[in-house]
Amino acid sequence: MPRLRLDEPLWLDKNAAARQVRFPRLERSAEADVAVVGGGITGAAIAWRFARAGARVVLVEAARIGRGSTAASTALLMQEPDEDFADLADRYGTATAARIWQLSLDSTRELISTLTRLRIRCNLARRDSVYYAQTTGHIRRLRDEHRLRRSAGFGGRWLDTRAVRRAIGFDAAGAVRTRGNAQVDPFRACVGLLRAAAGHGARIFERSPVVTTCASGNGVVVETERATVRAERVIVATGYATPCFKPLEARFRMMNTYVIATAPLTPAERRRLGLGAVMMWDTDRPYHYARWAPDDRLLLGGGDRPMVTGARRAAALEKGVRELRDHFVRLYPSLDEVKLEYRWEGLFATTPDGLPYIGPHRRYPRHLFALGYGGNGMTFGFLASKLLLEYCSNGSSRDQALFAFNRHR
């Protein structure tokens, strides 16, 4: 497996206390109702939801909890999927697109309320998003997108050029401003959910790589390097198809994404920059985005590109970071004088329609999957935890079918 990230993200460097949180290796065989493979934010949400429902949960993580793709994330809790409403409507019809958007919206709200109710200290802050266009072609498409969203019952206020400048500090032809989104520290959120899961009896193990999983009789056997977990079901929440599930690889496109973080800006520097307390992203593909961290650092991300591996990956990181910085300096010339203190790269999986795969696969009895979240991992990962619990309780549903492996037929 390739490494899930390069270099040290801001979240790990600034979380000395959280980094001291350690979970044991799986040294002895265990039994469970549900075995969860993957200790990122999605696995944490699944472990918490199933344990809270009374299931015996054992979670195993190959490396350290929350230090893979979760730590590489900039953790924008977005109700808007990566794919525009218009694109999903063209592919699946307006009613289906509207249901997908509603589920994403509901998941965002529930995740925010859950982190608040559990009192997880993860720098949760509610933020509007500003989705902007700069070219004539993009502005026409964005106006159509806004119209379709509104007709389907979703909010979002149109911003003209003057309103865009007030919100994000530079000229753009137009934008859609959406309320109800948020941002967090992803590592702290992950650890907090796992602690909550443990409070309901879940057993959490790290540094316990899974070697094989196999359906056996009325259950499934999960083999790690040192011990075995026997469970009624296994839920694979590794983000993408690991070598254990090689036949699924063709369903995913692996991408590298890039992030840079400035040094803390002074109040004068923030005013000169002009970006308000919003999360912004553009209509480019691949898109670019920016948000503020709690200590007045500016986080800049995006510029995704197909996965680069081996010796070329470090060079690709340098190039990706340089192009990301140049992009934002063109928008904010004053950034040229601001020191950059962090830069990192993460690995994630996309799917043909930008939606995750959630649920069973006919090739793997007693296995459930939560894979391919794209750039909206925290929202869709939390949604996966809900849909999978519903599946285990009541069987397949219309909502689960929206994210099924066979939806492309």
Strand partners, 279: 129
Q: pTM for the complete prediction?
A: 0.95
pLDDT at 376: 82
pLDDT at 217: 82
pLDDT at 323: 95
Pairing of strands 203-205, 57-60: parallel
pLDDT at 3: 56
Strand partners, 259: 301, 344
Q: Which two tokens stand for residue 370?
A: 């939560």
Contact 292, 275 (CB under 8 A): yes
Phi-psi region of 196 (alpha: psi -120 to 50; beta: other; left: phi over 0): alpha
What is the four-CA torsion angle of 79, 80, 82, 87, rounded to 10 degrees?
140
Contact 288, 302 (CB under 8 A): yes
Phi-psi region of 311 (alpha: psi -120 to 50; beta: other; left: phi over 0): alpha
pLDDT at 289: 95
> Residue type for 184, please?
V
pLDDT at 241: 87
pLDDT at 189: 95
Distance CA 38, CA 46 (A): 10
pLDDT at 2: 56
pLDDT at 45: 98
Distance CA 409, CA 400 (A): 15
Contact 211, 229 (CB under 8 A): no
Burial environment of residue 337 by CB neighbours within 10 A (0 to 12, 13 to 18, 19 or more): exposed
> Residue type for 71, please?
A
Query: pLDDT below 50 — which residues of the chain?
Result: none
The length of the chain in residues reads 409
Distance CA 128, CA 125 (A): 10
